[in-house]
Amino acid sequence: MSTQYDLIVIGSGPGGYVAAIRASQLGMKTAIVERESLGGICLNWGCIPTKALLRSAEVLHLAKHAKSFGLKIENPSFDLETIVKRSRGIAAQLSGGVKFLMKKNKIDVIEGTARLEKGAPAPKVIVKGKDGKDTPYTAKHVMLATGARARDIPQAGLKADGKLVWTYREAMTPDVMPKRLLVIGSGAIGIEFASFYNELGSEVTVAEVMDRILPVEDAEISGLAEKDFKKQGMNILTGAKVENVKPGKNTVTAEITTKDGKKETKEFDRVILAVGIVGNVENLGLETLGVKVEKTHVVVDGFGRTGVPGLYAIGDLTGPPWLAHKASHEGVMCVEGIHGKNHAEPFDASNIPGCTYSHPQVASVGLTEAAAKAKGYDIKVGRFPFIGNGKAIALGAENGLVKTIFDRKTGELLGAHMIGAEVTELIQGYVIARQGELTEQDLIHTVFPHPTLSETMHEAVLDAEGRVLHV
Amino acid sequence: MAINITMPALSPTMEEGTLAKWLVKEGDTVKSGDIIAEIETDKATMEVEAVDEGKIAKILIAEGTEGVKVNAVIAVLAEEGEDVSDVKAPAAAPSVSRPEPAATSPAPQGRKETAPAAPPNPPSRSGGGGPAPKGDGTEGASAVMERPSGARILASPLAKRIAANKGIDLKAIKGSGPHGRIIRRDVESAKPGAQVASADVAPASPDGLILPQILDDRVYAPDTYELKPLDGMRKTVAKRLTQSFMQVPHFPLNVDITLDNLLTSRAAINNAAREGVKVSVNDLLIKAAALALIDEPDCNASFTDKGIAYHKHANISVAVAVEGGLITPVIFKAEQKGLAEISEEMKDLAARARERKLKPQEYMGGTFSISNLGMFGIKSFASIINPPEGMILSVGAGEKRAVVDEKGNVVVRTVMSVTLTCDHRVIGGAEGAKWLNAFKRYVETPEAMLL
């Protein structure tokens, strides 16, 4: 195997493997180092397998409501093992797909755990293989794409044990259905699992330390989501602090201090820890190279440059938003920056859509209403409920809202926030609008197909102008 | 078939402008691409290019005419084989704009075949005697701006809106988006009032005379600087100074001048002056320079294509630094003006210069320039000549220096160093030296200015 590369990427998640493909397209001799499975967390333990689980939950949900569609399905039920098996199968299929893509693009896959040593023009990459032997590799450029993992807060008694206190990893391969489930943290990961287990019949409690769930979303959307989840039977505690999560023999106890200051110890069968993400910065040799790390994340510029010659970092490792599509995009930007390819654009974090695949789905891009006001914008806000959309009613999905926020002065779409069926598939329309710097007029003049859910997006723009049609 | 040459628009909002200069005269043969005239608004100058070949049959608008409406016919071109004397001026009054879409919209220049062949009520077609129209529509637009102004401006809707809000002309902006698209950040970093200058704004060649200093990511990483698009003034300054420095043979002459008498006189003058008048050292230097130019008329001269123009009056251009560039308002006939008048005029011109509110006739027509950096403590420097002027005086700081006087004693005097930069095509070393001596005499013996 050749050991002289133009680029070595460490980590084969959606950031790393996409960067490697782009580098190969640009004619760079590229290798990728992976310690576990190609595709990283996203494909194996994140985005994709959870979507498979949530799809099972969604189908179950529809089956339960079959009657309202005029269908007869007696006592719909599920087999947990098969649901998990399906999810794992999909992960394996996609990991195999990445392997094929690496081969097709002539990217060398190096199995093992990488660390860096000082070197020029870029740090040297030492890979400890499965056999425990070190092999050195050199490249002109080295990209760190080692990702992130679930955060523990041991000082507050929040630590996963992998048996009764789960992280996302165990939560997506359950062997039994927990009867009583506590989800700590109500970001996208926490809410998706809460939604999945709730649909499958667990008694789900979500504890969020902030005053609302999905705290990064627009407050109005958070409120609607909370209302909907409560209606589905979820117990939601906002402004609640969880401490001393103690696994016992078969159950877990947790101390929960609620909004009104009452402290209670409650018993659960399982607990899912979803209190944030820490970057995988350890054991890479970053200290000896003088790489700047802040709060477990590597500090980089808009092209992923770390300040150490020849060393770059992208994706979750470099900080929020911790999203696969952010990592892929950063990876491509970084490679194009290295290559000096025509029109490399530095990474712009302001236009990264965020999606939560719960039931109902939540999707957003840009500024929330509060953030836009705080930034001093004079704003116009438009809203449109799904109940005014024919397709939504036909789908039996009339719960939902689209909200748009425009700068009154320039017509810029500052932010868009959506909750309801398939909004994760719709949000890209607004992302394109923002990327293309379209104004409210351009969106108004755009023809949206009828009947589709996307018409709600048009109406939400019209509403901002005071000319909504269907409410 | 006679072809009308019309007044082009420098910007989409421009309604009228000044026809600054004709570079051709009646009877001249021009071919497509030849620069035939210069037009101006404020500080932006634009060259008018001929689109068609032919002979200039008639010039309808004299150079220096202000307020020429966009699309007004400014000249008529006779095509090959056509008798110039047969061409008649169009019936429409020159200052009345014509409703000819082909000339109004720059677009047809890029795709002539679709230009309307028969615009409504075309006054130009009333000219008789010419050959029959070719019928291919090519007689549409006749004059264009130097840049193919018809080229579609690629800009995002948001960039367009912000530009409109800020009063920025998108033509003056270089796009940094995909395929050179103008995006929000480009207009946000542009200054309000940015206008197209005569220079072409194609990214690769900012100006035919300026070295193509292409911004290359390999030299300066994109995040290491902030890019400010060139506005009209910056382009004009860059173009004129580059032309001057490259084409005019410069030579400098230095002299030290004692200021004590001038400072004493200035105090006395200001004591005696009416309320509100405060003559500055610079005002006195303007007057002294003007008188020296009248004393040495060989130095009050411009090299031109037709010969050396010896000016009868001393019109003193004074360099004023303004945000984003430099401008030189002119004190006309300074030799005839009193100090109070010079002082007040200068104050007014400098203030309006800083607001970019000078009219072209207030910064054109100088015969000599003064640039003073004394207030910044600069000891001496040599300015670049402001063409078509023949000389420029660079004034350093007045400072106390040890000087050996006529009796051989070392005494303290307030002295300033000045540098006279001359255009060697019109001014020899001896002439320059004579002028400097005259200037020095006025400054050191200010009473002489009263004679």
- Give yes or no for a cis peptide into B120 (omega within 30° of 0): no
* Spatial contact of A122 and A311, defined as CB atoms under 8 Å apart: yes
A301 touches chain B (CB under 8 A): yes
| Rg over CA atoms, chain A | 23
Residue A142, pLDDT > 60, answer yes
Of A301, A409, A437, the CB nearest to B157: A437
Spell out a b/e string for B319-354, using b for 16 or more CB atoms within 10 Å of the CB, else e: bbeeebbbbbbbbbebbebebbebbbbbeebbebbe
Residue A22's Cβ-count burial label (10 Å; 0-12, 13-18, 19+) is buried
How close B158 comes to chain A (CA, Å)? 5
B250 catalytic residue (yes or no)? no
Give the nearest chain B residue to A436 (CA atoms). Answer: B156
Beta-bridged to residue B75, according to DSSP, are B5, B59
Among A170-179, A272-281, B136-145, B173-182, name the one with the lowest average pLDDT. Answer: B136-145
Task: Write out the DSSP string of A21-88.
Answer: HHHHHTT--EEEEESS-TTHHHHHHSHHHHHHHHHHHHHHHHHHTGGGGT----S----HHHHHHHHH
Name the H helices within A286-422.
286-289, 324-339, 369-374, 390-395
Q: B275 near B422, Cβ under 8 Å?
A: no
Q: Quick check: B217 and A346 CB within 8 A?
A: no
pTM of the model: 0.59
Q: Spell out the domains of chain B, with CATH numbers in brackets.
A: 3-86 (2.40.50.100), 143-229 (4.10.320.10), 237-450 (3.30.559.10)
Chain B positions touching A438 (Cβ under 8 A) are 156-158
How many of the other CB atoms lie within 10 Å of CB of A1?
7
Interface test with A, best of B154, B156, B158, B187 (most A CBs within 10 A): B158
B290 CB near a chain A CB, below 8 Å? no
Using a CB–CB cutoff of 8 Å, tell me whether B178 touches chain A.
Answer: yes
SS3 label, residue B205: coil
Strand partners, B4: B76
Closest CA relative to residue A222, chosen from A403, A17, A440, A97: A403
Look at residue B67 and give its three-state secondary structure.
strand
Chain centroid offset of residue A458 CA: 26
Please indicate if any CB of chain B lies within 8 Å of the CB of A6: no
Chain B residues inside the 8 Å CB shell of A409:
165
**Euclidean distance between CA atoms B147 and B151, whole angstroms:** 8
- Phi and psi (nearest 5°) for B95? -85, -5
| Tokens found for residue B239 | 């173009």
**Residues whose CB falls within 8 Å of the CB of residue A298, separated by 6 or more in sequence, listed in order:** A144, A279, A281, A286, A291, A292, A306, A313, A317, A318
d(CA B383, CA B368): 12
Question: How many angstroms separate the CA atoms of A116 and A113, rounded?
Answer: 10
Measured between CB atoms, does A378 come within 8 Å of chain B? no
**In chain B, which residues have their Cβ closer than 8 Å to the Cβ of A301?**
223
Omega prior to B387 cis, within 30 of 0: no
Q: Does B223 touch chain A (CB under 8 A)?
A: yes
Q: Which residues of B touch A436 (CB under 8 A)?
A: 156-157
Q: H or E stretch including A128?
A: strand A124-128
Distance of CA B128 to the CA centre of its chain: 39
Alpha-carbon gap: B103 to the closest alpha carbon of chain A (Å): 29
Q: What is the pLDDT of residues A30-49, one digit of tens each?
A: 999 999 999 999 989 999 99
Residue pair A98/A48 in contact by the 8 Å Cβ criterion? no
Q: Which residues contact B305 (CB under 8 A, 6 or more apart)?
A: none
Q: What is the model's pLDDT at position B80?
A: 67
Say what the pLDDT of residue A302 is: 87
Residue B121 tokens read as 């009520």
Q: How far apart are CA A350 and CA B142, in angstroms?
A: 47
Tokens of A200: 């499958």
A340 touches chain B (CB under 8 A): yes
What pLDDT was estimated at residue B326? 84
Cα–Cα dist A339/A309, whole Å: 15
What's the pLDDT tens digit per position in B93-126? 444 333 333 333 333 333 333 333 333 333 333 3
CB atoms within 10 A of CB A307: 13
Taking CB atoms and an 8 Å limit, are A410 and B165 in contact across chains?
yes
Mean pLDDT (chain A, rounded)? 95
Q: Is A298 helix (H, G, I), strand (E, B) or coil?
A: strand
pLDDT of residue B202: 37
Determine the pLDDT at residue A8.
98
DSSP secondary structure code for residue B48 in this structure: E
Query: Facing residues of A139 across strands?
Result: A5
- In chain A, residues with a C-beta closer than 8 Å to the C-beta of B217 are 340, 344
Q: Is A128 exposed, middle or buried (0-12, 13-18, 19+ CB in 10 A)?
A: middle
pLDDT given at position B340: 92
Mind telling me how many Å the CA of A376 is from chain B's nearest CA?
17
Q: For residue range A395-429, list pLDDT tens digits in order.
A: 999 999 999 999 999 999 999 999 999 999 999 99
Tell which wins on pLDDT, B166 or A58. Answer: A58
Q: Does A435 touch chain B (CB under 8 A)?
A: no
- Cis? peptide before A451, omega within 30° of 0: yes
Q: Report how far residue B427's alpha carbon sits from residue B441's, in angstroms, rounded to the nearest whole number.
A: 20
How far apart are the C-alpha atoms of B7 and B71, rounded to whole Å? Answer: 5
Please report residues of A whose CB lies closer than 8 A to that of B159.
437
Of A340, A344, A439, the CB nearest to B161: A439
Alpha helices in B167-259 (DSSP H): 184-188, 232-247
Option in B158, B165, B178 nearest A343 (CB): B178
Is 80 exceeded by the pLDDT of residue A381? yes
Collapse the DSSP code of A339 into the 3-class scheme (helix H, G, I; strand E, B; otherwise coil) and give the result: helix
A32 φ/ψ angles, rounded to the nearest 5 degrees? -130, 135
Q: What is the pLDDT of residue A84?
A: 97
Cβ contacts of B273 within 8 Å, gap of 6 or more: B279, B340
Q: What are the backbone angles phi and psi of residue B320, rounded to the nearest 5°?
A: -120, 125
Query: Strand B410-423 and strand B250-258: pairing?
Result: antiparallel
d(CA B210, CA B198): 13
The distance of B230 to chain A (nearest Cα, Å) reads 21
Q: For residue B161, which residues of chain A lie inside 8 Å, CB to CB?
A: 410-412, 439
Cβ pair A265, A295 in contact under 8 A: no
Instruction: Quote the CA–CA distance of A239 and A252 in Å, as a whole number.
Output: 21
Q: Is A244 on the interface with B (CB under 8 A)?
A: no
Low-confidence residues of chain B: pLDDT under 50: 91-149, 195-210
Average pLDDT over residues A354-367: 97
**Rounded Cα gap, residues A124 and A116, in angstroms:** 6
Residue A321, preceding bond cis, omega within 30 degrees?
A: yes
Task: State the pLDDT at residue B52.
Answer: 78
Q: Give the distance, in angstroms, between the CA of residue A462 and the centroid of all CA atoms in the same chain.
A: 30
The pLDDT of residue B137 is 36
DSSP bridge pairs for A137: A125
> Do A346 and B222 lie within an 8 Å CB cutoff?
yes
- The residue whose two tokens read 């996609």 is A94
To test the contact with chain A by mutation, choose from B154, B160, B161 the residue with the greatest count of A C-beta atoms within 10 A, namely B161
Q: Do B158 and A411 touch (CB under 8 A)?
A: yes
Q: Which residues contact A219 (CB under 8 A, 6 or more apart)?
A: A212, A368, A369, A370
What single letter denotes the amino acid at residue A159? K
Catalytic residue among A61, A450, A458, A470: A450
Interface residue B184 vs chain A (CB under 8 A): yes
Side-by-side strand order, sheet with A252-257: A241-247, A252-257, A263-268
Distance between CA atoms of residues B392 and B436, nearest Å: 11
Whether residue A346 and residue B223 make contact (CB cut-off 8 A), yes or no, is: yes
Q: Is B165 on the interface with A (CB under 8 A)?
A: yes
Query: Touching check for B216 and chain A: CB below 8 Å?
Result: no
pLDDT at A4 over 90: no
Q: Provide the percentage of residues in chain A whose pLDDT is more than 70.
A: 99
Quote the pLDDT of residue A285: 95
* Interchain CB contact of A412 with B (< 8 Å): yes
B326, β-bridge pairs: B321
Distance from CA of A344 to the nearest CA of B (A): 9
Burial of A105 (0-12, 13-18, 19+ CB in 10 A): middle
Taking CB atoms and an 8 Å limit, are A437 and B217 in contact across chains? Answer: no
Q: Of A5, A15, A300, A311, which Cα lies nearest the Cα of A143?
A: A311
- Calculate the CA dihedral of residues B152, B156, B159, B165 and round it to 10 degrees: 70
B156 CB neighbours in chain A (<8 A) are 436-438
